[in-house]
Chain A
Amino acid sequence: GAGVSQSPRYKVAKRGQDVALRCDPISGHVSLFWYQQALGQGPEFLTYFQNEAQLDKSGLPSDRFFAERPEGSVSTLKIQRTQQEDSAVYLCASSSDRNYGYTFGSGTRLTVV
């Protein structure tokens, strides 16, 4: 596609519910990143994929967070047993090379009530 597509755009979840957030990167982009952006803050790194390999997951805040990119294209960020502190915008970015331009998706705004 022409850009990085994220879905859903908005998600309201009840506390304890599991959610799955999808990122469809630019075709051919090897690198894919997930970021979490709390209200009024800059994005914080969550995890990084190079093709299907998850090379860094050091930013995932707890074992309730899980990300995958099984075929090296679409990625899914799953949050189990959501908590209120998980409320944030989740951003996905892709790049053909991490040292070059990044293209960001519009993000998924997750609200846990």
Chain B
Amino acid sequence: KNEVEQSPQNLTAQEGEFITINCSYSVGISALHWLQQHPGGGIVSLFMLSSGKKKHGRLIATINIQEKHSSLHITASHPRDSAVYICAVIGSGGGADGLTFGKGTHLIIQP
């Protein structure tokens, strides 16, 4: 079982819809990242959070440490939001292995 599970795997929505992508993890973590990857493009870090909630523009990320769960929300979605959204965690064990990634959620926003 992957240590980081995302849902849904694929999501197609209409422009303007409210989008939610979920991430569950099974290990103790020191921080969680939400990343965005466009086709053929590199990865952009959207948020890093270890508690509570962060907001940037139309993007909101929340994390519940006790439930080992995080969500990424997109309000008033737009076709340019179409991308793969990846959840990644940093373990709290002190190891040097960097991020453990989920498999990503492929989001398509149709006009």
Contact = CB atoms under 8 A, between A and B. Distances in A.
Contacts of A56: 95-97
Given A33-B99, A45-B97, A45-B99, A107 B104 contact: no
A82 interface: no
B96 A50 contact: yes
A60 B98 CA distance: 14
Contacts of B100: 45
A106 B45 contact: no
A101 B45 contact: yes
A32 B75 CA distance: 34
A103 B103 contact: no
Interface string A56-74: 1011000000000000000
Interface residues of B, number: 24
8 contacts: A35-B99, A42-B4, A43-B99, A48-B97, A56-B97, A93-B98, A101-B45, A107-B42
Contacts of A48: 96-98
Given A33-B99, A44-B101, A99-B31, A106 B90 contact: no
Contacts of A41: 103-104
A91 interface: yes
B96 A55 contact: yes
Given A41-B103, A45-B98, A55-B96, A98 B90 contact: yes
Interface string B74-92: 0000000000001010100
Interface secondary structure of B, over-half rule? strand
Interface string A93-113: 100001111111111000000
Contact of B97 (A59, A103, A107): A59
Interface in B44-95: 44-45, 48, 86, 88, 90, 95
Contacts of A102: 33, 45, 98-99
Interface in A4-59: 31, 33, 35, 40-45, 48, 50, 55-56, 58-59
A42 B102 contact: yes
A18 B100 CA distance: 28
